[in-house]
């Protein structure tokens, strides 16, 4: 019997081919879960849902009515939600002084307001307990230059997770976040194939390598499992990066432009 037989898992942000959300959803499906995936692009979602034997629903995380419709559709189709995972994000890298009001509005919508409202809907739907997980970032704890809006919103939603854990533990709801470091995903683009960029990041990892999507999926499966007696925590799944730190702009040398165009940890 697979670990998640009979469990229902909802994952947001899964419309990007090969992204972190898809890796997480694929892993839960392999563990026997019934998986609902969501995002903004129907064709990609339909293809991926068929691949993992799951279902899909269009949802823009910045729109509360679509969030509520997603949660309702999941309950209607599968009867419940045991695990809700927010894996949406926008990896803005921009100097502090140049970050515009529109940048801030979009970042808040994608990485704070939307996840906040998603978790509100999950708490209402999880009448028999459950596990809520959000994908945070090592940079909610440690520094990376030109990343202030991203870092601030990730840190903010980590504290919301703590509030949920505190207020809804009596309902059997656990809430935790996972903080990757820089990870090989579509968001990173081709930057990690540049030797100078890879070397600059790798020196910050005591375990000697940057993270993978599988690392994060493994952590999500454990956090969502019945064996996990943890709530209100930020799980640092980043090879020890937070013991040292990300590179500075000077560390990138001539690879600066490529590194700061795509990379987000």
Q: Kindly report, residue by residue over 193-218, the tens digit of the pLDDT.
A: 778 888 889 999 999 999 999 999 99
Mean pLDDT (whole number) for 109-135: 98
**Residue 198 confidence (pLDDT):** 87
Give the pLDDT mean for 240-263: 74
Integer angstrom CA distances of residue 28 from 42, 50, 182: 21, 14, 23
Query: Is pLDDT of 184 > 60?
Result: yes
Does 187 have pLDDT greater than 90? no
d(C-alpha 83, C-alpha 225), whole Å: 9
Q: Which residues contact 192 (CB under 8 A, 6 or more apart)?
A: 182, 184, 198, 201, 210, 263
Sequence-distant (≥ 6) Cβ neighbours of residue 39 within 8 angstroms: 12, 13, 14, 15, 16, 21, 45, 56, 58, 59
Q: Which of the residues are catalytic?
A: 150
User: What is residue 192's predicted lDDT score, i.e. its pLDDT?
Assistant: 80
Q: Are 261 and 191 in contact (CB under 8 A)?
A: yes
Better-scored residue on pLDDT, 95 or 262: 95
**How many residues appear in the chain?**
265
Mean pLDDT of the chain: 93
Of 153-162, 163-172, 232-241, 256-265, where does mean pLDDT reach its minimum? Answer: 256-265
Q: H-helix or E-strand containing 175?
A: strand 173-178
Helix boundaries (H) for the chain: 20-30, 42-52, 64-78, 101-108, 114-125, 148-168, 195-202, 213-224, 241-244, 249-252, 256-262
Between 201 and 56, whose confidence is greater? Answer: 56
In the chain, the percentage of residues whose pLDDT exceeds 70 is 93
Mean local confidence (pLDDT), 112-136: 98
Does residue 107 register a pLDDT over 90?
yes
CATH topology (fold) of 8-194+208-244: Rossmann fold (3.40.50)
3-class SS at 43? helix
**Residue scoring higher pLDDT (167 or 185):** 167
Structure-model confidence comparison of residues 133 and 199, the more confident one:
133
Residue 36 burial (10 A CB sphere; 0-12, 13-18, 19+) = buried
Residue 59 has a pLDDT of: 98
> Residue 234 and residue 147: Cα distance in Å, rounded?
20
Q: How much is the pTM?
A: 0.94
Between 259 and 220, the more confident residue is 220
Q: What is the mean pLDDT of residues 118-134?
A: 98
**Region of 38 on the Ramachandran plot (φ > 0 left; ψ -120 to 50 alpha; else beta):** beta
Task: Please tell me the predicted confidence (pLDDT) of residue 262.
Answer: 47
**What residues are paired with 38 via a beta bridge?**
57
On the question of pLDDT at 159 being above 70, the answer is yes
> What pLDDT shows up at residue 254?
64
């Amino acid at each position: 019997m697979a670990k998640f037989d009979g469990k229902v898992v909802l994952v947001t942000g899964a419309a990007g081919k090969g992204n972190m959300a898809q890796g997480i959803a694929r892993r839960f499906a392999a563990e026997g879960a019934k998986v609902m995936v969501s995002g903004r692009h129907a064709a990609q979602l339909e293809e991926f849902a068929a691949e993992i034997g799951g279902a899909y629903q269009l949802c823009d995380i910045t729109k509360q009515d679509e969030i509520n419709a997603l949660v309702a559709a999941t309950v209607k189709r599968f009867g419940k939600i045991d695990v809700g995972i927010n894996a949406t994000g926008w990896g803005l890298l921009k100097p502090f002084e140049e970050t515009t009001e529109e940048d801030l509005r979009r970042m808040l919508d994608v990485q704070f307001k939307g996840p906040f409202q998603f978790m509100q809907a999950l708490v209402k739907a999880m009448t028999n307990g459950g596990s809520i997980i959000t994908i945070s970032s090592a940079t909610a704890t440690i520094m990376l230059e030109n990343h202030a809006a991203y870092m601030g919103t990730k840190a903010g939603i980590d504290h919301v997770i703590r509030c949920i854990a505190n207020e809804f533990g009596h309902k059997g709801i656990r809430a935790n976040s996972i903080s990757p470091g820089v990870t090989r995903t579509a968001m990173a683009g081709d930057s990690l194939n540049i030797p100078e960029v890879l070397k600059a990041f790798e020196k910050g990892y005591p375990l000697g390598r940057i993270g993978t999507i599988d690392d994060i999926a493994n952590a999500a499966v454990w956090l969502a499992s019945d064996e996990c007696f943890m709530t209100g925590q930020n799980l640092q799944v980043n090879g020890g990066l937070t013991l040292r730190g990300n590179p500075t702009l000077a560390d990138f040398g001539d690879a600066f432009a490529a590194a700061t165009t795509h990379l987000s940890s």
